[in-house]
Structure 1
Amino acid sequence: MKKTFPLTHPRIKPERLVESTRAEVNKYLKRERKKKLPEGKDFWDFDCKVGISAESAEVVHLSALSQAIGQALTEGGETVYVEVIAKAKARQKKASQPED
């Protein structure tokens, strides 16, 4: 998902536009997580970028995505660019610690 969302509207408050942006992103994440995983993969991971524009977008962790969308409003931008790319990953086994 690569999309630019408007944060200005003649009749809708910017805070409501941010909420609808977050809702649409969460709906996308939920839909992607329901997809069948490829053979040998355990979970879906997401690469996320958020910014005022595509050029100024910064990499953020999935847990900070919602906060970063809200921060775009406080920075005074008229739009917010959100990029979320799903990728299947396999869990890494923890290295066992030697016992003394």
Structure 2
Amino acid sequence: MRKVFQIDVSNKTRDRQIDSIKNEIRKYIKREKSKKLPEEFNSWFFDCKFGQTLELAKEISFADIIKSVDLANGENYPSFYLEIISRPVFKEKKLSVDEEILED
């Protein structure tokens, strides 16, 4: 998803538009996570960028997406750019405490 979201829309209140944007982002993430992974991979990773414009966009962590939308609302941006690109990754399984004790 590479998109410029408009916050100031003539027929909606600002808060309602922010809720609509957050809902669209969550739906996109859910849809991407439900896609079938290639054989060598076991998880999805999201590369994210956020900024007032495409040129000002900086990388952010996946956990900060919704916080960034709230920041745009708080700073009274008329619009903002958000980029979320999914890619498959292989994550090593973390050992639980019980498994670590058994290995020692």
Give TM-score scaled by structure 2 length. 0.84
SS at match of 2:92: coil
User: After alignment, is 42-51 or 73-82 more displaced?
Assistant: 73-82
* Structure 1 vs Structure 2 CA RMSD: 2.0
| Offset, 1:76 | 2.2
The residue that corresponds to 2:3 in the other structure is 3
1:21 partner amino acid? I
Identity %: 33
* Amino acid corresponding to residue 68 of structure 1 in structure 2: S
Specify the code of the residue in structure 2 equivalent to 1:16.
R
Aligned to 2:43: 43
Determine the structure 2 residue equivalent to 1:69.
69
Return 5+ residue gaps in structure 1 as ranges: none
Q: Which residue of 1 aligns with 2:17?
A: 17
- The aligned runs of 1:49-88 (5 Å cut-off) are 49-88=49-88
CA-CA distance at 1:77 after TM superposition: 1.3
Instruction: Measure the CA separation in 2 of the matches of 1:93 and 1:17.
Output: 39
Paired positions, count: 98
Unaligned runs of 5+ in 2: 95-99
- Residue by residue over 1:75-98, the C-alpha shift from the partner in whole angstroms, topping out at 9 and shown as x without a partner, is 22110111000000001366x9xx
User: Residue type of the partner of 1:88?
Assistant: P
SS at match of 1:21: helix
Amino acid at match of 1:29: I
Q: Any runs of at least 4 consecutive aligned residues in structure 1 with deviations exceeding 6 A, and if so which?
A: none
In 2, the alpha carbon distance for the partners of 1:20 and 1:48 equals 19
Aligned residue number for residue 30 of structure 1:
30
- SS state of the match for residue 26, structure 2? helix
Question: Structure 1-normalised TM-score?
Answer: 0.87
